[in-house]
Structure 1
Amino acid sequence: MSYVVAGNELEVDAEGYLLEPDYSEEVVTVIAAAEGIELTPKHWEVVNYMRDEYRENGHTPNFRNMLKGVNEFWPEADSKALYDLFPVGPAKQAAKVAGLPQPLGKGGY
């Protein structure tokens, strides 16, 4: 499996996560479509949050820390809201859709 973005084939691991991060908007739309996700402004807010966390920390947060971080810009967000956006698992699926490598352990730090 791989993703083709702007004519370039991007390498992925066995679970479909990019091996190297890609911060283009096009990669988000390609991966989201492959995951069956129709992007909304809330998806983009979470994707941008995950990308910022990866840039700052070198990895993405686990679900608990993700929810805490998302509450800073989306105060009414709860577990259900994040699972509605990323039904396979918010911490892992949001990282995948954001074009980031697979999270560490059980979904990050």
Structure 2
Amino acid sequence: MAYEVGGKTIETDADGYLVDANDWTEDLIKVIADADGLEMTERHMDVVKYLRDEHVNNGGNEPNERTILKAMSKLWGDKVTSKTMYEMFPGMPSKQGRKFAGLPKSTRKGGY
């Protein structure tokens, strides 16, 4: 599998995760979202930016669902529920969100 962005082919694994995280750009997010059948919103972007920041600036940290909920609740100023996050990222926020962020597939089991 591969994504096409700006005339460049971006290689992925069978699940759509980038083979080389250095290939990630914000332009790639729409392509991944289209492939997954999702429409990106600012809140989606907040989750993606949070996951990238945690991975890049916090030693490869892979936040679980509960940590993502707390971070987004603080950022958005309201209580975010698991239902809301799974509506945004049906393939699991901590896993599908990482794919959108161009990060490696999570090795965690997820959940709380």
The residue that corresponds to 2:108 in the other structure is 105
Alpha carbons of structure 1 residues 59 and 3: separation in structure 2 relative to 1, 3 Å: farther
The residue that corresponds to 2:74 in the other structure is 72
| Secondary structure of 1:65 counterpart | helix
The offset of 1:67, in angstroms, is: 1.7
Q: AA paired with 2:35?
A: A
Q: Does 1:6 align with 2:9?
A: no
Point out where structure 2 has 5 or more consecutive residues left out of the alignment: none
The residue that corresponds to 2:86 in the other structure is 83
| Secondary structure of 2:74 counterpart | coil
Larger Rg: 2
Give the 4+ runs in structure 1 shifted more than 3 A: none
Q: AA paired with 2:13?
A: D
Identity of aligned residues (%): 46
The offset of 1:23, in angstroms, is: 4.2
Instruction: Indicate if the aligned counterparts of 1:47 and 1:94 stay in contact, CA closer than 8 A.
Output: yes
TM-score, with structure 1 as normaliser: 0.86
Q: AA paired with 2:42?
A: P
Instruction: Indicate if the aligned counterparts of 1:2 and 1:16 stay in contact, CA closer than 8 A.
Output: yes
What CA deviation, in whole Å up to 9, does each residue of 1:35-56 have, x standing for no partner?
A: 1011111111111111111111
**Which stretch of structure 1 is more off in the superposition, 19-28 or 40-49?**
19-28
The residue that corresponds to 1:40 in the other structure is 41
TM-score, with structure 2 as normaliser: 0.84
The offset of 1:94, in angstroms, is: 0.9
The residue that corresponds to 1:61 in the other structure is 63
Point out where structure 1 has 5 or more consecutive residues left out of the alignment: none
RMSD across aligned positions (CA)? 1.8
Alpha carbons of structure 1 residues 24 and 63: separation in structure 2 relative to 1, 3 Å: same
Corresponding pairs, count: 108
